[in-house]
């Protein structure tokens, strides 16, 4: 099926608009991935899927003048789509999941730091940075470690190795 528009055939015959927007988005994603090198595997995967799907559709648009949609899910009443469309959709869904997960993680880190500051003030202690806690969210997360923006302890959320070759722990940071 020839698709001369965007998703579901919207904005048909606007080929150059889609090419320019795709190029801008792909360049922005690649620059972010190369310069920022996010630690979260989920973030890297989601952005790679979005960029890959954009590149796939852009190749069709430049070479054919339209995108070829060929997957027809007959078991549900749905639009015809292609692999690149699937990559963009799955990448966007994973990006949303990562954004929610990261927001929750940051709130937990912030509240963990605030709780420590409150308890330190009550007991007269000086307190420790939020990243020194063994119970911080993100350390060893199956989604990936993305503590580069919030970590103040000098570790990367518990995935750094100490001099003995083990996993860095709060006790190892005190040495």
Active site residues: 69, 85
Q: Which of 165, 159, 164, 155 is nearest to 128 (CA)?
A: 155
Question: Which residues, at least 6 apart from 52, have a Cβ–Cβ distance to it below 8 Å?
Answer: 84, 87, 91
The tally of CA atoms less than 13 A away on the side-chain side of residue 87 is 15
- Name the residue with tokens 């119970």: 135
Tokens of 147: 């503590």
């Amino acid at each position: 099926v020839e698709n001369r528009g965007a998703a579901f055939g919207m904005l048909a015959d606007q080929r150059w608009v889609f090419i320019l927007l795709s190029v801008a988005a792909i360049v922005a994603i690649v620059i972010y991935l190369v310069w920022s090198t996010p630690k979260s595997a989920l973030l890297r995967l989601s952005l790679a899927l979005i960029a890959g799907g954009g590149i796939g559709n852009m190749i069709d648009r430049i070479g054919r003048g339209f995108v070829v949609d060929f997957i027809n899910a007959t078991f549900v009443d749905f639009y015809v789509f292609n692999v690149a469309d699937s990559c963009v959709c799955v990448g966007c869904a994973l990006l949303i999941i990562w954004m929610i997960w990261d927001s929750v993680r940051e709130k937990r880190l912030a509240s963990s730091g605030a709780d420590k500051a409150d308890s330190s003030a009550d007991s007269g202690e000086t307190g420790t940075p939020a990243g020194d806690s063994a119970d911080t969210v993100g350390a060893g997360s199956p989604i990936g470690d993305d503590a580069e923006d919030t970590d103040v302890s000098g570790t990367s959320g518990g995935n750094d190795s100490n001099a003995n070759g083990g996993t860095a722990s709060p006790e190892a940071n005190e040495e």
